[in-house]
A and B are shown apart, each in its own frame.
Chain A
Amino acid sequence: MNAKKKRLIYNLSTYAIVVIAFAWCQFLLNNGGMTRSLKGQLVPICCWVIMAVSLNLVVGISGELSLGHAGFMSVGAFTGIILSGWLQNGMGMADETLRLVIAIAGGGLLAGIAGVMIGIPVLRLRGDYLAIVTLAFGEIIRNVMNCLYVSVEGRGLHIDFLNPSLPGKLLLNGPNGAVSVSKISTFTAGFILVMLSLFVVLNLTNSRSGRAIMAVRDARIAAESVGINTTKYRMMAFVISAVLAGMAGALYGLNYSTLVAGKFKFDQSINVLVFVVLGGIGNTMGAVVAAAALTILPELLREFSTYRMLVYAIVLIVVMLATNNPLLKQWFSNMTNRARGLVRRDKPAADGEGGNPA
């Protein structure tokens, strides 16, 4: 009961943080207490929070290092832009909310399909190999997007590869990316999407499938030996994560009037990884807070923006050392135990660590 209660409190406070932050922002918006630049960051913050939550599903909960998460975001973004552009210009759909919903759903769907297509080969690999191949896929997606030309003519879509001379209104212009996108993303849509992704990830984690995913992470061979199909569950985490990233991408893409594929470089994948790591790998609430804080912070500290990445890098290294070096870890846990006033008597057995193959 105790563990269950703890989990419930954790989940509820995660939702609460998002709801309170949203309400507070709405309050500021209505009372004019928000700067222009911060206003412009509201939708991107939601996008990066969703990205962090979804990457955390792969890195933290499924235990696979994926370095190509931005690739899924880019698939979602361009799918969303094309869908929205087609619905608006080809089908004459004026309702922005409906267009946004369809665009986000489409972005998620296509990113999910990309996730399946990439997952089938990639998930045969493990560890560092998997990391490097996801990175490769992210780069391939970016390269392909750079060669894609899409235009809308009448009710139809023209899609071509490497051929810029398309009839009709150009939606996607190869390396120049998407042009004259109608900006239909809203903060409310972002908020709903954040809540949705939290709902999916937190509920999944606390279910039969989620436990299977974590079992594969902790001890793959043991998981197989109790009858868990490891490929299926690694795939599940990977694809759900891709779908969420695709939805975030659609929201992101429809928040700007232009967008190039270069926006979703490898650096962005790393950026999201930094959110996940600083939030505490596997900690969804941490990922939310870290993503939001690290997106706002540079806005607030404009003058330090040149040092931003430098500080990121140092913090990343220090956090990894502090949480993974046995000596430092011991020191930290002693400190927190002392702070809590309880030093537990039972110590784990010296070499009883499960999971790590000898």
Chain B
Amino acid sequence: MNEDKRRQRTKMVTYPSGAVIPERDLGKSPVLECSHLGIEFGGLKAVEDFNLVLGRTEIAGLIGPNGAGKTTIFNLLTKVYQPTHGSVLIDGLDTQSMTVVDVSKAGVARTFQNIRLFGNMSVEDNVRIGLHNQIKYDMFTGIFRLPRYFSREKQQHEKAMELLDIFNMADLADAKAGSLPYGAQRRLEIVRALATNPKLLLLDEPAAGMNPHETEELMDNILRIRDSFQIAVLLIEHDMNLVMGICEGICVLNFGRVIAKGTPEEIQSNPVVIEAYLGKKKEAGQ
């Protein structure tokens, strides 16, 4: 049903600084600004001179061959790794001295390439943990069951169910997260990330292990999430249907460096990209 909407290309505009964002985000400050971001692992430059500006409600893709440094960039953005060069601004805030927790509080949520759910806990509890900093009460309230405990628990439950409903997972609320099928685990990771009330959602290969039908659904859902939560999404994905279908801006990485940036059309026709990445596919296809 969203097929047409997806094909409707967003009009991209250029900032004076050279960054390209969707036209509708023009009046608002960008949610993410990376400049000259880089990290070295013992002399090896895993990521070098990475620059990216994301509009408030932009869906952007980060693509590139395996080992290009895509997940490393996510780790830099969320401070799992400390960058050796450059800076990251989230909603205008410098993340230089932030920890992983601070970044989450600043409004960045992520999913993981190799799923990291709280496997022994129920689906609902996984989402409630995502709500950790949204609906709060302290340890003593919890232990001594003060009135606040009951009201906040109820709020958490309601919010968790509401979020699970996005992916029609409400009926799975009591299931053990680790026992869900692969696709459902990936979806639950997205729900958990959304529970933290982010401004920017980082999805690391959200369609990995999904069948084409599930991927189609996922694409609709990502668009729906962006529209209803008004957040930006940056995703890493190898599925070109997904990337070309929903991403407004695409950034192509190879050997830790950006080799191309642009709209899906521009990327698809970019000779450098074709040579480095898509080119192989074409040859194989001929």
A: residues with CB less than 8 A from B are: 1-3, 199-200, 203-204, 206-212, 214-215, 218-219, 221-229, 236, 346, 348-349, 351-355, 358
Distance between Cα atoms of A206 and B144 in the complex (Å): 11
Whole-angstrom CA separation of A353 from B114 in the bound complex: 9
In the complex, the answer to whether A222 meets B117 with C-beta atoms within 8 Å is: yes
Q: Are B178 and A352 in contact (CB under 8 A)?
A: yes
Q: List the one stretch of B49-57, B125-133, B237-245 in contact with chain A.
A: B125-133
Chain A nearest CB, measured from B258 CB (Å): 24
CA distance A355 to B189 in the complex (A): 13
Find residues 128-187 in chain B having any chain A CB closer than 8 Å to their own CB.
Answer: 128-130, 132-133, 135-139, 141-145, 149, 152-153, 156, 173-174, 177-182, 185
- Chain B residues within 8 Å of A227, by CB: 101, 104-105, 132-133, 196
A209, B139: Cα distance in complex, Å: 6
Contact with A along B75-114 (1 / 0, CB 8 A): 0001010000000000000000001110011000110101
Whether A219 touches B104, Cβ cut-off 8 Å, given contacts A225-B110, A352-B178, is no
> Do residues B185 and A212 form an inter-chain contact, with CB atoms below 8 A?
no
Q: What is the total of A-B residue contacts with beta carbons within 8 Å? A: 132
CA distance A227 to B179 in the complex (A): 24
Which A residue's beta carbon lies closest to that of B188? A354
Q: B174 touching A355 by the CB < 8 A rule? A: no
Q: How many residues of B contact A (CB 8 A)?
A: 54
Contacts of B114 in A (CB 8 A): 351, 358
User: A207 near B142 (CB under 8 angstroms)?
Assistant: yes
Find the B residue at minimum CB distance from A2.
Answer: B174
Contacts of A346 in B (CB 8 A): 179, 181
Nearest CB in chain A: distance from B12 CB, A: 30
Interface of A is mostly: helix
Contact of B116 among A199, A222, A351 (CB under 8 A): A222
Kindly list chain A residues whose C-beta atoms are within 8 Å of the C-beta of B132: 208, 211-212, 215, 226-228
**Which chain A residue lies CB-closest to B156?**
A208
A210-B135 Cα distance, complex, nearest whole Å: 14
Q: Are B139 and A226 in contact (CB under 8 A)?
A: no
Question: Which residue of B80, B124, B182 is within 8 Å of A221 (Cβ)?
Answer: B80
A337 CB → nearest B CB, Å:
13
B110:A208 contact, CB within 8 angstroms: no
Question: What residues of B have a CB within 8 angstroms of the CB of A229 in the complex?
Answer: 101
Inter-chain contact B116/A224, CB cutoff 8 Å = no
Instruction: Write out the residue numbers on chain A whose beta carbons fall within 8 Å of the beta carbon of B179.
Output: 346, 348
Which residues on B sit within 8 Å (CB–CB) of A1? 174
On whether the beta carbons of B124 and A228 are closer than 8 Å, the reply is no
Partner of B125, one of A203, A211, A225: A211
The answer to whether B122 has its CB under 8 Å from any CB of chain A is yes
Interface centre among B119, B144, B193 (most CB of A within 10 A): B119
Contact of B101 among A199, A207, A228 (CB under 8 A): A228
Q: Are A209 and B142 in contact (CB under 8 A)?
A: yes
| Alpha-carbon separation in the docked complex, A221 to B78 (Å) | 11
Residue of A206, A219, A226 near B195 (CB, 8 A) is A226
What is the CA–CA distance of A223 and B100 in the complex, to the nearest angstrom?
Answer: 10
18 additional A-B pairs beyond A221-B80, A346-B181, beta carbons within 8 Å, are A3-B174, A204-B143, A214-B125, A219-B117, A221-B116, A225-B78, A225-B80, A225-B104, A226-B104, A226-B109, A226-B195, A227-B104, A227-B196, A236-B139, A348-B180, A352-B182, A354-B177, A355-B119
Question: Which residues of chain A are near B80, meaning CB under 8 Å?
Answer: 221, 225
Q: Are B101 and A349 in contact (CB under 8 A)?
A: no
| Interface pair B122/A3, CB less than 8 Å apart | yes
A1 to B174, CA, bound (A): 8
- Which residues of B lie under 8 Å from residue A354 when comparing CB positions? 115-119, 177-178, 185
A41 to chain B, nearest CB (A): 30
